[in-house]
Structure 1
Amino acid sequence: METLLSPRSLSPPLSKPISNSSSFSRPISYQSAKFAKPESPPPTSLLTDAKQACAVGKRRRSMMMGGLLMSGLTMLSEANLPTPAFALTPVFREYIDTFDGYSFKYPQNWIQVRGAGADIFFRDPIVLDENLSVEFSSPSSSKYKSLEDLGSPEEAGKKVLRQYLTEFMSTRLGVKRESNILTTSSRVADDGKLYYQVEVNIKSYANNNELAVMPQDRVARLEWDRRYLAVLGVENNRLYSLRLQTPEKVFLEEEKDLRRVMESFRVEKI
């Protein structure tokens, strides 16, 4: 089955250091060069839903404490000035790839992971199941003129879901996946270009005793429940895809920030 995006080889890009500082320590920073390509595979996430929820709570408390600390320091050093409005607002950085022709914004505290198989890959350092990546097709194997080559947003959504399910195919006994397309839409961004947005939910279940003979001894349990968000764009005869992954419980808390990442995605002429 043909996938949306075909593998391709790229020349070694320039490397730009990535800041690991707090989301409240600096204003938005802009990068004009491309990060180095991934080299080693990312670690497998071992967090359960309970641990993820706990980690998100810790991160939020840390962000609040950081904002309060900045507010206090500002009041002490600049008593005549009001507390800055961005003290409790997440800070975003902009990633610009002038070599391959795309850009997007991402939370400043997210880190780059090398060797993830995508052109670029970032993830949350605390909730490891929350990440983003960008992939694009090779112009030598596909010639996309516009998003209409994929059909309507609904048709594109079905193709995106099929690709996800293919990637997550498992050979383990007793594993079952439930999937659902939540929304599909199209929009024209401020660059005048058309983008498709697709949101899907996928749940993974596994039997606690897959080798049991009797059906009543094989109890299915939920392994993970995730939201997948994809933004598609066409430029340079390529299909570009920004993909976000997050646990459903985390999505409910960080939906605003994740949608800001989606809306920031742009494809550029090279």
Structure 2
Amino acid sequence: MAASSLSLSWASTTISNKLNVPHLNEALQPTSLPINNTLKCMGGTTIIEESHHNRRALLLGFGALTATLFPSTSVLAQEKPKNYVAYVDTEDGYSYYYPSDWRDFDFLAHDSAFKDRYMQLHNVRVRFIPTNKKDIHDLGSMDQVITDLVTKVYSSPNQEATILNMEERSEGGKNYCTVEFRLESRNFAVCSFATIAIANGRYYTMIVVANDRRWKKFRNQLKVIADSFKVMDI
């Protein structure tokens, strides 16, 4: 497994043009971002600035700009962690671990989903869409792909998006990229890990979510889920 540094290049081509990615944040009633928006780093330096009266500023964390990486482990390649259950979908070609006290539930347009028994927003879910790409790097630079994923797919127009960390790993001939990010609106904030991979003519996306308060307590538990996501040939 190898991790590589990322540096935001702000390429002009977006993931939406490369791949027809539907909006993934249905639980928060998102809509696609307008073409014009404002991107800022946490220090306040404007990266791209175009006016739009309906869009709040999108904040990209300093950790993303400096490509701070968090350590990754191949969970499924090791002994199953205590208090986790393996979910393996041999038909659709992916697997991951989730906490043993979570319950499966239906989440719109997703292939699998599990949630905390008490907090529905505390959950993991996986979906995939067709693609002619062979690898995530075929989508373009990972800094731009991840930035577009967070700001144009997962965030709503009334949210501020802060990218906290990004990481690449390679395992079994498959490449993965994971991003940790925070979405904040007037009434609440949520934090997430999202992991992407391409295999079997499919673009897979896993997202692990919790509200801001629970994230502080359960982040490491949720990181195990994000690190465990793997795709397999079918």
TM bucket (normalised to shorter chain) is 0.5 to 0.7
Aligned pair count reads 163
> 178, 184, 187: which is aligned to 1:203?
184
**Which of the residues 136, 152, 155 maps onto 2:144?**
155
* TM-aligned CA deviation for residue 242 of structure 1: 0.7
Secondary structure at the aligned position of 2:182 is classed as: strand
Aligned-pair RMSD on alpha carbons? 2.4
- Residues 152 and 185 of structure 1, relative CA distance in 2, 3 Å threshold: farther
Q: Percent identity?
A: 25
2:182 maps to 1:185:
no
2:133 alignment partner AA: Y
Counterparts of 2:22 and 2:154, CA distance in 1: 14
Q: Which residue of structure 2 lines up, in the alignment, with residue 268 of structure 1?
A: 232
Aligned to 2:12: none
Residues 115 and 128 (structure 1), Cα distance of their counterparts in 2 relative to 1, 3 Å cut: closer
Q: Could you say what secondary structure the match of 1:137 adopts?
A: strand
Give yes or no for contact 1:183–1:198 (8 Å, CA) kept in 2: yes
1:214 match: none
1:249 aligned onto 2:231 = no
> Structure 1, residues 234-267: CA drift from partner, whole Å, max 9, x if none?
1012111111111122111112211111111000
State the TM-score, normalizing by the size of structure 2: 0.64
3-state DSSP of counterpart to 2:118? coil
**CA contact 1:157–1:181 (8 Å) conserved in 2:** no
Normalising to structure 1: TM-score of the pair? Answer: 0.56
| Contact residue 4 and residue 160 of structure 1 kept, 8 A | no
2:107/2:125 contact within 8 Å kept: no
Q: Which runs of 5+ in 2 are unaligned?
A: 1-15, 30-80
Which entry has the higher C-alpha Rg, 1 or 2?
1
Question: Which residue of the other structure, out of 21, 42, 62, is the alignment partner of 1:5?
Answer: 21
Q: Aligned partners of 1:99 and 1:108: how far apart in 2?
A: 22
Give the direction of change, closer, same or farther, for the CA distance of 1:124–1:4 in structure 2 (3 Å limit): farther
What is the Cα deviation at residue 192 of structure 1? Answer: 3.5
From the two aligned structures, give the one with the greater strand fraction.
Answer: 2
- Distance change >3 Å, CA 94–CA 4, structure 1 → 2: farther
Cα shift readout 1:135-189 (whole Å, capped 9, x = no counterpart): 1112xxx211111122222112112111012xx35xxxxxx32111111110123
Partner SS state of residue 118, structure 1: coil
Check if 1:131 corresponds to 2:123.
yes
> Structure 1 residues 115, 228: closer, same or farther in 2, change over 3 A?
closer
Unaligned segments of structure 1, at least 5 residues: 8-40, 45-88, 170-175, 206-222
More helix by share: 1
Would the aligned equivalents of 2:86 and 2:97 in 1 still touch at CA under 8 Å?
A: yes
- How far does the alpha carbon of each residue in 1:169-217 deviate from its partner, in whole angstroms, 9 at most, with x for none? 5xxxxxx32111111110123x242110111111111xxxxxxxxxxxx
* Mapped contact 1:132–1:242 kept (Cα < 8 A): yes
